[in-house]
């Protein structure tokens, strides 16, 4: 973190127009270096590329380029080592680095040729976004792998699947976990989409209207690994849609993680008792000695709120801005940093927590032994005997009521009971309550049956290799 320094009236690098520096309170109000310092690597990289291009078009001599490059690299090393003295009166990361460079070499004063902080900051943010997307996708994949491993370690475990949080039909635990793997795969797709649109270089757009100097923008873009250069200078310095997109991708990830967290919270409760979350990911209560609370999962769920808030802030920030750059845009960074930081942490911690979570196979087996979970299987049984589904549904509904009335399980009704409800019933109806058979029957693509779930586990192991 940059060290605090009292703001003082100091003339800026572009001080020609002004007789005094800005008021101390204004300086404090308007500076961003306390958060945008973290763009220093992107800023230095962008400046080196710009300098090389300036050399190529003859603005810099070979010697000037050399001194600029080595100065910028030296500054980068100082920042890496925490030895750089950030000057808050210099407003932001860009001014701090340029000012330090100019102290190292007089050629530093040429670096800002045909560049504005407006296209500079837009470029820095695009470089940062691209880098973060790569890291984020890696974290998403880490969680996907953890889910697949957990599923395959517990390949035979079935649990009740739920709708309305009511027990519905049996599913493999792996099928439930793989549902999240699917969601996360789409999240990766959203990140990749966002990357494509971030991969356009604004440098050369100047403050808003380009420059009269004949820049070689393609050269700079190539140096910076941008796939394309922006085609409209006004758009390039003023839109932040690529940041909103990343913040949204983060929100969607957080919403998925929040749902997974909610499942884990439920499953770890005494009411469900399907899993035991490792101690390192839970906390005790300061009052109740018996408590073991799933705080990490709860915080993942809780942090989704702030990340969703970050997207809102960014959208509201942009909505009323006249063309082109407006200082409001400085407020974009903290929101995006916040969204990315918390989403990355949540992904990694969720993966680590799942890795330290044990499945209680006996408790799952007890829950999935509920005969009511097979009611739909029995309706299907009648359908296979030629009964219309609506009639079959009614027959089973009546059977459920009958069992309830007799205070017995649905599986305890006799073949005769079933035949009284519909004469096509035979002894094989009892087989419908066998979990193994029931799971084997669910064989179509996408179903939670034995074969498709195994196939899906294999597919994911393969593709996440
Ligand atoms: N710190 C500023 C930001 O983040 C950099 C651009 C400032 N440009 C300007 N014309 N004041 O937006």
| Integer Cα distance of 98 and 71 in angstroms | 10
CB 425 within 8 A of CB 418: yes
14 has pLDDT over 70: no
What's this model's pTM, rounded to 2 decimal places? 0.94
Find the 121 Cα to ligand 1 centroid distance in Å.
7
Q: Which of 30, 88, 330, 334 to mutate to test the pocket of ligand 1 (most atoms within 8 A of CB)?
A: 330
| Ligand 1 atom closest to residue 325's alpha carbon, by position in its atom list | 10
Whose Cα sits closest to atom 7 in ligand 1?
117
Q: What is the reported pLDDT for 292?
A: 87
**285 is a catalytic site residue:** yes
Q: For residue range 96-149, what is the model confidence (pLDDT) as tens digits?
A: 999 999 999 999 999 999 999 999 999 999 999 999 999 999 999 999 999 999
Q: For residue range 400-422, what is the model confidence (pLDDT) as tens digits?
A: 999 999 999 999 999 999 999 99
Write the Ramachandran bin of 229: left for phi over 0, alpha for psi from -120 to 50, otherwise beta. beta
Find the 47 Cα to ligand 1 centroid distance in Å.
16
Cβ atoms < 10 Å from Cβ of 358:
13
Cβ atoms < 10 Å from Cβ of 190:
18
Find the 127 Cα to ligand 1 centroid distance in Å.
16
Kindly indicate the confidence band of residue 16, based on its pLDDT and cuts at 50, 70 and 90: confident
| Integer Cα distance of 358 and 219 in angstroms | 54
Find the 83 Cα to ligand 1 centroid distance in Å.
25
Select which of 285, 391, 443, 463 is catalytic: 285
Q: Which of 40, 117, 123 to mutate to test the pocket of ligand 1 (most atoms within 8 A of CB)?
A: 117
Tell me if residue 201 falls in helix, strand or coil. strand
Compute the average pLDDT of residues 40-57.
98
Kindly indicate the confidence band of residue 6, based on its pLDDT and cuts at 50, 70 and 90: very low
Whose Cα sits closest to atom 4 in ligand 1?
330
Q: What is the DSSP string of 65-78?
A: HHHHHHHHHHHHHH
| Integer Cα distance of 400 and 411 in angstroms | 10
Query: What average pLDDT does the structure give for the chain?
Result: 95
Q: For residue range 446-462, what is the model confidence (pLDDT) as tens digits?
A: 999 999 999 999 999 99
Q: What is the reported pLDDT for 47?
A: 98
Compute the average pLDDT of residues 312-334.
98
Find the 342 Cα to ligand 1 centroid distance in Å.
25
**164 is a catalytic site residue:** yes
> Which protein residues are within 6 Å of ligand 1, measured from CB?
32, 36, 92, 117-118, 121, 325, 327, 329-330
| Element at 54 (helix H, strand E) | helix 40-56
Compute the average pLDDT of residues 38-63.
98
């Amino acid at each position: 973190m940059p060290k605090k320094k009292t703001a003082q009236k100091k003339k800026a690098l572009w001080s020609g127009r002004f007789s005094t520096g800005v008021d101390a309170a204004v300086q404090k109000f308007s500076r961003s270096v306390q958060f945008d310092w973290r763009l220093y690597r992107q800023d230095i990289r962008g400046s080196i590329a710009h300098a090389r291009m300036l050399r190529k078009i003859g603005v810099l001599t070979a010697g000037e380029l050399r001194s600029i490059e080595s100065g910028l690299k030296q500054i980068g090393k100082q920042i890496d080592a925490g030895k750089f003295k950030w000057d808050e009166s210099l407003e932001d990361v860009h001014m701090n680095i340029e000012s330090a460079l100019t102290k190292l070499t007089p050629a530093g004063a040429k670096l800002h040729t045909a560049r504005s902080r407006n296209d500079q900051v837009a470029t820095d943010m695009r470089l940062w976004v691209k880098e973060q997307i790569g890291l984020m996708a890696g974290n998403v994949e880490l969680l996907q792998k953890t889910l697949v491993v957990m599923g395959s370690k517990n390949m035979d475990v079935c649990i009740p699947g739920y709708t309305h949080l009511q027990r519905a039909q049996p599913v493999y635990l792996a099928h439930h976990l793989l549902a999240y793997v699917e969601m996360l795969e789409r999240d990766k797709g959203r990140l990749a989409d966002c990357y494509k649109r971030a991969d356009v270089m604004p440098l050369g757009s100047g403050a808003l209207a380009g420059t009269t100097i004949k820049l070689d923008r393609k050269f700079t873009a190539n140096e910076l690994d941008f796939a394309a250069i922006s085609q409209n200078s006004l758009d390039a310095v003023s839109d932040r849609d690529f940041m909103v997109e990343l913040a949204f991708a983060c929100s969607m990830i957080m919403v998925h993680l929040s749902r997974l967290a909610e499942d884990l919270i439920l499953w770890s409760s005494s009411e469900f008792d399907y899993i035991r979350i490792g101690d390192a990911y839970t906390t005790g209560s300061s009052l109740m000695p018996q408590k073991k609370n799933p705080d990490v999962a709860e915080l993942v769920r809780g942090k989704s709120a702030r990340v969703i808030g970050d997207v809102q802030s960014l959208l509201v920030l942009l909505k009323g801005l006249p063309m082109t750059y407006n200082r409001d845009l400085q407020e974009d960074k903290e929101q995006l940093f916040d969204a990315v930081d918390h989403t990355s942490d949540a992904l990694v911690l969720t993966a680590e927590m799942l890795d330290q979570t044990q499945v209680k196979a006996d408790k799952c087996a007890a829950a999935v032994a509920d005969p009511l979970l097979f009611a739909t299987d029995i309706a299907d049984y009648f359908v296979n005997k030629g009964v219309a589904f609506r009639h079959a549904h009614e027959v089973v509904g009546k059977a459920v009521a009958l069992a309830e009335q007799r205070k017995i399980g649905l599986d305890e009704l006799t073949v005769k009971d079933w035949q009284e409800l519909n004469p096509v019933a035979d002894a094989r109806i009892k087989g419908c309550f066998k979990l193994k058979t029931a799971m084997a029957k669910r064989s179509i693509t996408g179903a939670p049956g034995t074969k498709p779930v195994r196939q899906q586990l294999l597919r994911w192991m393969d593709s996440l290799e």
